């Protein structure tokens, strides 16, 4: 039974999905005190959070069973990624589920702040009637500067183009083709964007580079009367600098959805009349909350069941179709990797991986992780998975190199080098669902990996196969399939798929035959 704790408000449809899983027990503990969370987190296999719960080293140290962190939403700045990755904890989020709501809220903040909707409402509520002091600005024909032209930046672009705005953007991390496709003029520097924009909106993640990306120095570069919105993360725009820029008449109005210190902010912006502040409502729509709740529940369920999750943050990003195409290659890579420590005993010093044929066009980084998972899984006590297999190699000083090889058909070749020798295994995917190991240490095969396999290395002499068969029959080991391959040196390798685990006693018995060099049981 997997135990899942939900520490923040996620839609009931998501909770129901989790509850429906017969092997999942869900504890909804919204607003749980930190000290208590730390006390009980060791019992849980997964946790579902939004933006408030800090998932950090302090928590990981106690979370000895944690396998999955589900972030119901987009930003993962409350989750320490390195700590999760090191421990093989999969972090999943729902990056697409609330972006429309966030884009619409951005525009809501922009329009309400630039048209003084909130103070106007307050004046009316107080029995007053005021128009002159509440004159605002149109968006039409103005220049909108977008910092961060990702998902939400792109949605805001399309919507504000319909308002007749000219859109310029600063985002040094995306291709020019995205600017072109969106009809957005690229600013080479942030400074250029600040100098040219009548309206600015920020849509970057919160990183070391983007915290305080707009502060006193940047406001000094802005046009007088600029309007600005932050619907991304608290602290991207320095709160004190924004208050000062409003007082100095640089900023005419501001819309802010995100504050430092949430959910108990003490922001100076809250009391500034030119500033419309909302309590992180960007994703707070019925639609987004259902989308996010269902998406995060589905991902947590898949991840707990060992399936690949397209939105795993600490795995290479893949679309679901891409992922389904790659599943066979992941299984093949893992099987090739698993052969090493089950057939060899020398500590690996280097893993060399070559991709040939159509595999070269795939997201091979994930296949590399599958191979490394396979290599280390049989010998490590701690959990090794797609998330931390590269870290596992690195922390053991095992060098990993990846290259390409010419091949008519798709081919993965893994060579593991140790101090004194090297071991190579290759394989291919014939068609969907059919993977084959084609070569092991110089022996050609056409082998389908099976969960239980018996491997015998022997001298290639008449009679040995018969004796092995008789011995296994007497030992009640049922052989489902068998392949034999030999090399020029007169040695042979035999791979048998068997129905059950083969005991050490049987392996020792096999090795008593003078022609048998080695017998091993392998799980693939």
By a kind-dependent CB cut-off of 5 to 8 A, residue 170 interacts, out of ligand NAD, ligand MLT, none, with ligand NAD
Is position 174 an interface residue for ligand NAD (rule: CB under 6 A)?
yes
SS3 471: helix
* Residue carrying structure tokens 């600029």: 226
Going residue by residue from 211 to 230, which x/- string records binding to ligand NAD, judged by CB under 6 A?
--------------------
Q: Can you give the binding site for ligand MLT, defined by CB under 6 A?
A: 50-51, 73-75, 98, 282-283
72-91 positions binding ligand NAD, by CB under 6 A: 74-75
Query: In angstroms, what is the minimal distance from the CB of 73 to ligand MLT?
Result: 3
Question: In terms of CB distance, is 50 or 86 closer to ligand MLT?
Answer: 50
Neighbours of 104 (CB within 10 A): 18
Report the candidate in 461, 443, 473 with the shortest Cα–Cα distance to residue 513: 461
Is position 260 an interface residue for ligand NAD (rule: CB under 6 A)?
no
Stretch binding ligand NAD (CB under 6 A), from 238-246, 278-286, 426-434, 476-484: 278-286
Is position 204 an interface residue for ligand NAD (rule: CB under 6 A)?
yes
Q: Is 203 a catalytic residue?
A: no
Given 87, 105, 280, 369, the catalytic residue: 280
The helix-helix angle for 286-304 and 12-20 (nearest 10°) equals 20
Question: In terms of CB distance, is 97 or 388 closer to ligand NAD?
Answer: 97
By a kind-dependent CB cut-off of 5 to 8 A, residue 210 interacts, out of ligand NAD, ligand MLT, none, with ligand NAD
Q: Residue 178 is encoded by which pair of tokens?
A: 């995205």
Q: Is 29 a catalytic residue?
A: no
Question: In terms of CB distance, is 129 or 173 closer to ligand NAD?
Answer: 173
CA distance 92 to 310: 8
Is position 233 an interface residue for ligand NAD (rule: CB under 6 A)?
yes
Torsion sign over Cα 400, 402, 403, 409? positive
Given 50, 87, 105, 233, the catalytic residue: 233
CA distance 88 to 314: 9
- Say which DSSP state 215 is in: S
Q: Is 87 a catalytic residue?
A: no
Which residues does residue 169 pair with via DSSP β-bridges, in sequence order? 146, 186
Q: Which residue is nearest to ligand MLT (CB)?
A: 73
CA distance 146 to 50: 25
Q: Note the residue count of the chain.
A: 524
Report the candidate in 157, 148, 254, 128 with the shortest Cα–Cα distance to residue 202: 148
Q: What are phi and psi of 135, to 5 degrees?
A: -65, 130
- Say which DSSP state 477 is in: P
Chain positions contacting ligand NAD, by CB under 6 A: 74-75, 95, 98-99, 102, 147-153, 170-174, 203-207, 209-210, 231-233, 257-258, 280, 282-283
**Catalytic site residues?**
233, 262, 280
């Amino acid at each position: 039974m997997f135990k899942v704790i939900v520490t923040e408000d996620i839609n009931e449809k998501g909770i129901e999905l989790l509850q429906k899983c017969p092997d999942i027990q869900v504890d909804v503990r919204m607003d749980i005190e930190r000290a208590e969370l730390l006390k009980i987190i060791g019992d849980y296999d997964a946790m579902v959070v939004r933006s408030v719960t800090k998932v950090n080293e302090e928590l990981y140290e106690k979370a000895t069973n944690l396998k999955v962190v589900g972030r119901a939403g987009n930003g993962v700045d409350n989750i320490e990624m390195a700590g999760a990755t090191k421990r093989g904890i999969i972090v999943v989020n729902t990056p697409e589920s609330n972006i429309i709501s966030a884009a619409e809220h951005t525009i809501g903040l922009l329009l309400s702040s630039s048209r003084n909707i909130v103070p106007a409402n307050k004046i009316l509520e107080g029995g007053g009637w005021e128009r002159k002091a509440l004159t605002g600005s149109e968006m039409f024909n103005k220049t909108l500067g977008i910092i961060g032209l990702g998902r939400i930046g792109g949605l805001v672009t399309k919507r504000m183009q319909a308002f007749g705005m000219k859109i310029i953007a600063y985002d040094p991390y995306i291709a020019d083709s995205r600017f072109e496709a969106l009809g957005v003029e690229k600013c080479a520097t942030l400074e250029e964007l600040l100098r040219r924009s009548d309206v600015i909106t920020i849509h970057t993640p919160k990183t070391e580079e983007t915290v305080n990306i707009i502060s006193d120095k940047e406001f000094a570069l802005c046009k007088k009367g600029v309007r600005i919105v932050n619907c991304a993360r608290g602290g991207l725009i320095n709160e004190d600098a924004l208050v000062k820029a409003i007082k100095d008449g640089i900023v005419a109005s501001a819309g802010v959805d995100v504050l430092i210190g949430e959910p108990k902010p003490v922001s100076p912006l809250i009391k500034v009349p030119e500033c419309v502040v909302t309590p992180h409502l960007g994703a707070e729509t019925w639609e987004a909350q259902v989308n996010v709740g269902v998406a995060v529940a589905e991902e947590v369920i898949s991840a707990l069941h060992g399936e690949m999750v397209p939105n795993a943050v600490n795995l290479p990003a893949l679309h679901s179709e891409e992922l389904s195409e790659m599943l066979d290659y992941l299984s093949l890579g893992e099987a090739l990797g698993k052969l090493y420590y089950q057939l060899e005993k020398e500590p690996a010093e280097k893993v060399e991986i070559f991709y040939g044929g159509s595999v070269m066009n795939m997201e091979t980084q994930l296949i590399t992780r599958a191979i490394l998972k396979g290599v280390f899984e049989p010998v490590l006590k701690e959990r090794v998975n797609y998330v931390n297999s590269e870290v596992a190699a690195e922390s053991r000083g095992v060098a990993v190199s990846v290259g390409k090889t010419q091949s008519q058909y798709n081919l993965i070749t893994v060579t593991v080098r140790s101090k004194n020798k090297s071991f190579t295994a290759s394989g291919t995917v014939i068609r969907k669902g059919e993977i084959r190991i084609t070569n092991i240490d110089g022996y050609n095969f056409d082998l389908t990996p099976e969960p239980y396999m018996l491997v015998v290395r022997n001298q290639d002499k008449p009679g040995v196969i018969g004796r092995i068969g008789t011995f296994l029959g007497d030992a009640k080991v049922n052989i489902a399939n068998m392949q034999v391959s030999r090399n020029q040196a007169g040695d042979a390798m035999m791979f048998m798929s068997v129905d059950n685990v083969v005991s050490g006693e049987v392996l020792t018995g096999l090795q008593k035959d003078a022609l048998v060099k080695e017998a091993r049981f392998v799980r693939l």
